[in-house]
Amino acid sequence: MKNILMDEKTETALGSNGNNKASNEDELKRKVIFLSGIFKQIWGWKKQIIIINSAVAIAAVSFLLFFVDPYYESSIVILPEFGNNATTLSGISNLASIAGLNLGEAAPTEIYENLILSEAVLEQVIYKKYNTKEFSKSVNLIEYYEVEPQEAGDKQSEERQKFLKVFEVLTESKIETKIEKLTKILTVTVEMPESKLAADVANTIVESLDNYLRTSRKSFAGQQRFYIEKRISQVKDSLSIAENKLRYFRDRNRIVDQSPNLFMEQSRLMRNVEIQQAVFVELTKQLEIAKIDEIKDTPVINFREEAKDSVLKAGPSRLKILSILLFLSIMISCSYYYFKPQLQKYFSLVKQNIK
C-alpha cells in the first residue's frame, strides 16, 4: 500500500515538474517573440537611427575637442609634526581664530587642512603673479580667470567681489585636501587648466601656509612675552615685599630658636620668599624662550617634496564622456522610434478632440 502511494506521489511530482518545464519554455518563447517584435520594429527605422546617432557623435566629438579644456592636477604631501614643532602649533591653534576658524583640539595637519581653505592663507595664493601659457605676462588668479564684479561699486568693493569669486572657485572645485586617518599625512591636490600653474599654485599654498604659521607663531610669542614681562614686574614687586618683611622680622627678632611662634613666623616668611623667587626664576626662563620664538624664522611646514608639473592630463576623459553620450543617444532614439506609432495615434486623437 505504501509503495503504491509513493509511486503516485512520484508520478504527480514528475507531472508537476513536466508542466513547470513546459510553462517555462512557453514563457521563454513569449519573451523571445516579444523582443523579436521590438527589434524588428526598431530595425525598420535603422537608417534614421544611424543618421541621428552619427550626428550626435560628430557634435559630441566636436564639442569635446574644441570646447572642453583639459585640466591637470598637482599634489603636495605635508607630513605631521612632532616634538617641539607640535608644541608650538598647540599655541598657534589658539591664534587660528584670526582666520575665522575654531579648531579646538586637533592634530597639526588637521589644523593645516582648515587653514589652507581660509582667506588668510589663500589671499597670497590668489594675488601672487604666475607665468602661464595663456598670457604673455605674469598674472594673478583673478586676472587669469578674467573675473568681473557682479555689482558695480567703488574700486575696493569690486576688488573684494572678484577676490571672493576666485576664492569660491578655489575652495569648491580647484583645491582638494585629504588626511589619512592613521598617519595624519595631509595631501593637497590642485586642479588647473595648465600643468605648471597647478604645481605653482600647490607650492604657493604651502608657502603661504608656512608664512601664516610663522607670523602666528611670532604673534603668539609676542603675546607671551608681553604677558610674561607684565607678570615678572608683578612677581618682582611681590618678591621685594616678601624680602622686606623677612628682613624687618629678623631685625626685630634676633633670637627666634627659643620661641616656637617666632620660629614658625620666620619659616612662613622664608617660604613666601622662596616661592616668589622660584616663580621669578621660571618666568625669566620663559621670557627668554618667548624672545627667541619671536625672532625665530625657521620653517614650520614639513612637506615631502615640492609639487611638480604634471606630464599627463587628469581629465576630462573624452572617451568616457563620448561613450556615455552615445549610449544615451542610442537608447533615446530607439525608444522614440519604438513608441512612435503609439505617439502618432495619441497626438492624432488629441487633435481630433480639439477640433
pLDDT, average across residues 118-141: 93
> Residue 191: which of 74, 322, 308, 84 has the closest Cα?
74
Integer Cα distance of 340 and 46 in angstroms: 14
Q: What are the cell numbers at 300?
A: 614650520
In this model, does residue 95 exceed pLDDT 60? no
Q: Which domains does the chain have, with CATH numbers?
A: 2-67+315-354 (no CATH), 72-295 (3.30.1890)
* 230-244 per-position pLDDT tens digit: 999 999 999 899 889
Helices (H), the chain: 2-43, 46-66, 84-95, 108-116, 119-127, 141-144, 155-169, 195-252, 260-295, 318-354
* 260-307 per-position pLDDT tens digit: 888 888 889 899 999 999 999 999 998 888 888 777 656 567 777 788
In this model, does residue 211 exceed pLDDT 50? yes
Q: Tell me the three state secondary structure of residue 38.
A: helix
Query: Cβ distance 206 to 192 under 8 Å?
Result: no
Mean pLDDT of the chain: 80
The whole-model pTM stands at 0.61
In this model, does residue 202 exceed pLDDT 90? yes
